[in-house]
Structure 1
Amino acid sequence: MTNGSARSGTTRRWRQRPLLVVLAGLLSSLVIVFYGLACGYRLNWTPSQSLGLWRIRPLAGAVATGDLVFVCPPDTPRFREAHMRGYLRAGLCPGGYGPLIKTVVALEGQRVEIGHKLEIDGRVIAHANVRKSDGRGRPLSSFKGGVVPAGHVFLHSSFSASWDSRYFGPVPAEGILGLADAVLTYAP
């Protein structure tokens, strides 16, 4: 082996080292992401709740009003349109949607009235004005109101531009993944 070929082998190893470091970093990142998903951790990038890292905690009993929950939206024409408009992110829920983080404000059997504001059994819900158009000026139609059907919940977010049950109506309670706990979040 000549001195030149020895240097060539050493140079080749030094050139491969950054690639190995990058591959090890990518593999580590993938392991962390999959472990986090398996343990119930999710990132929220939508402003309807604080941005950042959240955890899904299993329900200890029945869902109650005031519970902040992760919920998979049903795969309906209304949600497909919302996804096309950019209201929903892609994710692992049926239909390819990401779960929503919303507060349960009404349970089955409760009466929902929607006008310029939202009322549940005659009680006005704060921060729940109903918009006629979205941030791009596209028309929004609201839920007409009525009694929340059996097996369903009515969801709300106090973020003024949130797309919630004011617009899509009650959703099946079976889509609730668990309670939403903020881990490391930032409220813009």
Structure 2
Amino acid sequence: MKKILRMAALAAPIAGSVVLAAGVLCYLAGARVNTSKSIPVGLYWTSDRPVERGAYVVLCPPQVGVVAEALRRDYLPAGFCPGGYGFMMKKVVALKEDVVDISDAGVAVNGALLPLSAPLRQDAAGRPMPRYQATHFVIGNSEVLLMSDVSSTSFDGRYIGPVNRAQIEAVIVPVLVRHDERPIHPPPARPAQHH
């Protein structure tokens, strides 16, 4: 029994090192894992696809006061981006020359209100949420507006505003993601079948 325990004690660090090395290799090859509520949870792969409306992207957040405060409040993780921020993953919802309006009802792009986009007045701790200062603006040539398409509580463009395309590391493509299968409204009842 002691021999088995000794072998297990030796094998555990080796197995951990193998798993860590495999994770690093997958990351270097382009794998990205999302565990946040910003986009569907799961495995993504970086690509050379263009940054266009509807694409998911991974980016380093801009080094602005509102993002620094978000890090202090634990809305964002710490990481290896400039400023000590972790990477963000969001969906591109607006590009150059798109007209954006931010109101209490939410974020509208070219007149269409985005679902789940109403800014929160306060966070879970009761602190007032920041608001992007402009309520009506046009996206510039080198800008994009990034939002969540799956969470009403994501820290995104409704608070940060547009970001420069240079912040984007890559467009990411879903490989294996979990979608919320629950319907928003219950499905209609089936008519009774008579046999």
Aligned-pair CA distance for 1:168 = 0.6
Alpha-carbon distance in 1 for matches of 2:117, 2:174: 22
SS at match of 2:124: coil
1:16 Cα deviation (Å)? 4.3
CA distance in 2, matches of 1:141, 1:95: 19
Please report the RMSD computed on the Cα atoms of aligned residues, expressed in angstroms: 2.0
* Cα distance in 2 between the residues matched to 1:85 and 1:174: 25
Structure 1 regions of 5+ residues with no counterpart?
A: 1-10
Partner residue of 1:129?
118
> TM-score, normalization: structure 2?
0.80
Deviating 4+ runs (over 4 angstroms): 13-16
Q: Give the number of aligned pairs.
A: 175
Q: Is the 8 A contact 1:49 1:187 kept in 2?
A: no
Q: Which has the higher helix share?
A: 1
**1:67 partner amino acid:** A
Are residues 1:108 and 2:108 paired? no
Kindly name which structure, 1 or 2, has the bigger radius of gyration based on alpha carbons: 1
Q: 1:67 aligns with which of 55, 72, 95?
A: 55
Match of 2:141, SS state, is: coil
Query: How many Å apart are 1:14 and its aligned residue?
Result: 6.0
Matched, 1:54 2:80: no
Q: Give, as a single letter, the amino acid of the residue that structure 2 aligns with 1:138.
A: R
Q: CA deviation at 1:187?
A: 4.0
- In structure 2, the partner of 1:180 is 172
Match in the other structure for 2:78: 90
Residue 17 (structure 1) shift: 2.3
Does 2:156 correspond to 1:167? no
Alignment check: 8 A CA contact 2:60 2:88 kept: yes
**Structure 2 unaligned blocks of 5 or more:** 181-195
Using the size of structure 1 for normalisation, the TM-score is: 0.82
**Which residue matches 1:120?**
109
